[in-house]
A and B are shown apart, each in its own frame.
Chain A
């Protein structure tokens, strides 16, 4: 028991890590804010913004966060089967989100609106794909976690990993809310 308690310090470390990640996002948000209007005669955020599409993306992520939360609850109740189902659902929703993002990007690129076009597009692509990259890392993490759980069951160490994953996944959700608000809503509507 003493040994497990001492492992709890990993949460402090993970929160600090999340803060460093948040700061990197902060830099990207700041550059986006500075470069928002530097379209250099190219496409603006108003022309990119497709409300239903982004709304679906948002709903997918929000659902995945909810599902991820459920997975943790089942894990704490030691229900291994449901934990695995819900974690898998989280990962699938993450993949769906990634698919939509890749579709949006390829659509933009095919119309000639590449990230080399203007400073605004550079900032837009970078901010979104940095978030997308985190989602990718998250889904890979979930996959490995599923292997762990399938192999060894709901050990305390695996439950701890689900909790850490939860922090990570909710964090990505929050960042997306910021992207949704700052990039799409404030840029596309106001």
Chain B
């Protein structure tokens, strides 16, 4: 039995109310989806048009769907954390310590890895080829493989609902030695390890692919210094991905060796060095938050320039600033553990290097201020998100500089002040950027403009809800409240603030409901909200020059670029893109990516539960598919000019 099922015994199956509830819910949901697809006879359509598609636009939308589902999961986690903290005065509450810790660990991992990263990869897939005037990505196969590995990781992290056991309870970075075998013997940590490992490899592949695409696939005339800022920001972010994700892969692999084979990298005994884990994981972890942040900065630059009807002030400065942020952020990781006792010199150097990031960030603000000056500003929803972002981001930036001062950090480290700070940056910076980008590009994705009124409601509920929920956390931090407490003495006087914070969470939920309603209402009334021009915002960059949604080949004729803001200049000169069609190659769809990801998923699953025969079988399966793929030469087909003409006429 142990050979067949490893650690997966009957006792490991769900037996607590929350895991049983999760199991029932997940099973019902799966049955529901399968029944729906079968009834509507949609399987074939799903498989051919979506799952095996290599069209980056479709993959981008699939990224959005997965990320949105994970946002709901992460949001529910957040609600459970808050509720417990409200009830936690004088040892109350409904969660055990173990369960509470599992929830905040899952919340962090999901929000960073599967929500924010997912949305950003969605945008990059959809927008970058359009912005640089390309028909496809450099390697469509790597792209689908990367996406499906990300999905495999996302499913794996939710699998403990179905198969039980437990989840990691050592914080989102699983700091050693707590994450080692001695202190976390269960399968929870292995869920964390394998879902990060699998999706991390997907992210690295995506990073390589986007660098190749941006460097090699640009339309004629689009020099690096004519690229739209979002593309530049994505390039910076992806360069960081390929630099730091290997560090994550290697570090997590070492932790895994500790746990699987009894090695001693990060253990307390036999000469292991737990401080090394803290160093290595933050060498990835700090750049990771900038990987999330930088593309969002790119989105804001696009939004500000478009809605001010004006070219971006200081394009060169913006590009330099983005690069500077990307490079400097690789050298600041130690500010996450000033309190480890590295000595004043080391602490001061890393504190100052952290502050230096504030310079290019402030330059970004200057760029936006002077873009708006003498512009003609329209307050559509994307612009509102931007204006909301500026305020939260400035507060987050200032508290960030404060945290970079080591003596101040000794007090604020591990406190709720820190929690409030990074939520200000990730929600107020990255997530607002995602919302801005989503409402900005939604007409491009679908050919439908979003309902403005509901979008504005969503914005106001979000920003007010954000400050109602995270303001109290700043205050709690100043009261000396540490993070991650599920119970505390009522004499501390923290409870009222947690209550306010929970109310804020409720307001945020209403905001999210408005976001959902906005999408539903707009799609339902698609005739009314239709945008037939392909250029609803008077856009500046190439993605607006094609129709909405773009044809699968993006551009019937690859545009020639002579300036920055290529489309704006074309419109100004009144030149329409010449319509002489030529033959070109398009990649064929492939299911290899999805098959490899399925094997990777079962490989991870088998390794978590120590079912080694299944792991070996899956590993061989992956190798076999890769070898098989090398024999498959005809990955492209020819698109004839006449066919293109036919498609273009039908539009």
Chain A interface (Cβ within 8 Å of chain B)? 3, 9-10, 12-13, 16-17, 19-21, 23-24, 27-28, 30-31, 34-35, 38-40, 115-120, 122-123, 125-126, 140, 144, 148, 157
Contact B262 A148 (CB under 8 A): no
Q: Which residue of A lies closest to B243 (CB)?
A: A23
Contact A148 B263 (CB under 8 A): no
A8 to B633, CA, bound (A): 16
Partner of A38, one of B254, B272, B627: B272
- Does B345 count as interface, using CB distance less than 8 angstroms? no
Contact B261 A13 (CB under 8 A): no
Give the most central of A10, A13, A35, A39: most B CB within 10 Å. A13
Q: Least Cβ distance of A158 to chain B in Å?
A: 10
Contacts of A24 in B (CB 8 A): 246-247, 249-250
A158 to B210, CA, bound (A): 25
Contacts of A16 in B (CB 8 A): 208, 211-212, 242
Q: Least Cβ distance of A187 to chain B in Å?
A: 15
Q: Least Cβ distance of B249 to chain A in Å?
A: 6
Contact A120 B276 (CB under 8 A): no
Interface membership of chain B positions 202-227, coded 1 if the CB is closer than 8 angstroms to chain A and 0 otherwise: 00100011011001110000000000
Q: Binding site of B, secondary structure by majority: helix, strand, loop or mixed?
A: helix
Please provide the chain B residues from 216 to 257 with a CB less than 8 Å away from any CB of chain A in the complex: 216-217, 242-243, 245-247, 249-251, 254, 257
Q: Binding site of A, secondary structure by majority: helix, strand, loop or mixed?
A: helix
A16 to B216, CA, bound (A): 13
Contact A3 B585 (CB under 8 A): yes
Contacts of A10 in B (CB 8 A): 139
Contacts A24-B250, A148-B631: A35 and B261 contacting too (C-beta < 8 A)? no
Contact A21 B270 (CB under 8 A): no
Contacts of A9 in B (CB 8 A): 138, 212, 216-217
Q: Least Cβ distance of A32 to chain B in Å?
A: 10
**21 CB-based A-B contacts, threshold 8 Å:** A3-B585, A9-B216, A10-B139, A13-B212, A16-B212, A23-B246, A24-B246, A24-B249, A31-B265, A35-B272, A35-B273, A39-B271, A115-B263, A117-B270, A119-B267, A119-B270, A122-B258, A122-B263, A122-B264, A122-B272, A140-B623
- Does B401 count as interface, using CB distance less than 8 angstroms? no
Q: Which residue of B lies closest to A117 (CB)?
A: B270
Contact B633 A157 (CB under 8 A): yes
- Does B342 count as interface, using CB distance less than 8 angstroms? no
Q: For the complex of A and B, list the 10 residue pairs with the smallest distance between their C-beta atoms, beginning with the closest.
A: A38-B271, A119-B271, A122-B263, A27-B250, A23-B246, A40-B271, A9-B216, A119-B264, A20-B246, A116-B262
A120 to B272, CA, bound (A): 8
Q: Which residue of B lies closest to A27 (CB)?
A: B250
Contact B262 A31 (CB under 8 A): no
Partner of B265, one of A23, A35, A39: A35
Contacts A13-B208, A16-B211, A24-B250: A119 and B265 contacting too (C-beta < 8 A)? yes
Contacts of A120 in B (CB 8 A): 271
Q: Least Cβ distance of A115 to chain B in Å?
A: 5
Contacts of A27 in B (CB 8 A): 246-247, 250-251, 254, 280
Q: Which residue of A lies closest to B623 (CB)?
A: A140
- Does B630 count as interface, using CB distance less than 8 angstroms? yes
Q: Which residue of B lies closest to A19 (CB)?
A: B242
Q: What's the A-B contact tally at a CB cutoff of 8 Å?
A: 104
Contact B247 A23 (CB under 8 A): yes
Contact B261 A115 (CB under 8 A): yes
Contacts A13-B212, A116-B263: A35 and B271 contacting too (C-beta < 8 A)? yes
Contacts of B208 in A (CB 8 A): 13, 16-17, 20
Contact A126 B263 (CB under 8 A): yes
Partner of A126, one of B215, B257, B267: B257
Q: Which residue of A lies closest to B215 (CB)?
A: A12
Contact B272 A20 (CB under 8 A): no
Contacts A16-B211, A118-B270, A126-B257: A28 and B250 contacting too (C-beta < 8 A)? yes
Q: Which residue of B lies closest to A126 (CB)?
A: B257
Q: Which residue of A lies closest to B249 (CB)?
A: A24
Contacts of A30 in B (CB 8 A): 280
A28 to B243, CA, bound (A): 15
Contacts of B269 in A (CB 8 A): 40
A118 to B264, CA, bound (A): 6
Q: Least Cβ distance of A153 to chain B in Å?
A: 13
Contacts A12-B216, A157-B633: A38 and B273 contacting too (C-beta < 8 A)? yes
A40 to B633, CA, bound (A): 54
* Sample of 11 further A-B pairs with CB below 8 A, known A13-B209, A115-B263: A10-B139, A12-B212, A13-B142, A16-B211, A20-B242, A116-B264, A118-B264, A119-B267, A122-B258, A122-B264, A126-B263
Q: Least Cβ distance of B502 to chain A in Å?
A: 41
Q: Least Cβ distance of A143 to chain B in Å?
A: 10
Q: Which residue of A lies closest to B201 (CB)?
A: A20
A39 to B270, CA, bound (A): 8
Interface membership of chain B positions 330-361, coded 1 if the CB is closer than 8 angstroms to chain A and 0 otherwise: 00000000000000000000000000000000
Contact A20 B138 (CB under 8 A): no
Contacts A119-B265, A148-B631: A21 and B271 contacting too (C-beta < 8 A)? no
Q: Which residue of A lies closest to B265 (CB)?
A: A122
Partner of B273, one of A3, A17, A119: A119
Partner of B257, one of A38, A122, A144: A122
Contacts of A118 in B (CB 8 A): 264, 270-271
A120 to B270, CA, bound (A): 9
Contact A126 B254 (CB under 8 A): yes
Contacts of B270 in A (CB 8 A): 38, 40, 116-119
Interface membership of chain B positions 260-288, coded 1 if the CB is closer than 8 angstroms to chain A and 0 otherwise: 01111101011111001000100000000
A27 to B250, CA, bound (A): 7
Contact A20 B139 (CB under 8 A): no
Q: Which residue of B lies closest to A161 (CB)?
A: B630
Please provide the chain B residues from 168 to 219 with a CB less than 8 Å away from any CB of chain A in the complex: 204, 208-209, 211-212, 215-217
Contacts of B265 in A (CB 8 A): 31, 35, 119, 122-123, 126
Q: Which residue of B lies closest to A17 (CB)?
A: B208
A30 to B257, CA, bound (A): 16
Contacts A16-B242, A126-B254: A34 and B216 contacting too (C-beta < 8 A)? no
Q: Which residue of A lies closest to B257 (CB)?
A: A126
Contacts of B276 in A (CB 8 A): 31, 34-35
Partner of A116, one of B209, B243, B245, B261: B261
A27 to B277, CA, bound (A): 11
A9 to B209, CA, bound (A): 10
A140 to B627, CA, bound (A): 10
Q: Least Cβ distance of B539 to chain A in Å?
A: 28
Contacts A119-B265, A119-B271, A122-B265: A144 and B627 contacting too (C-beta < 8 A)? yes
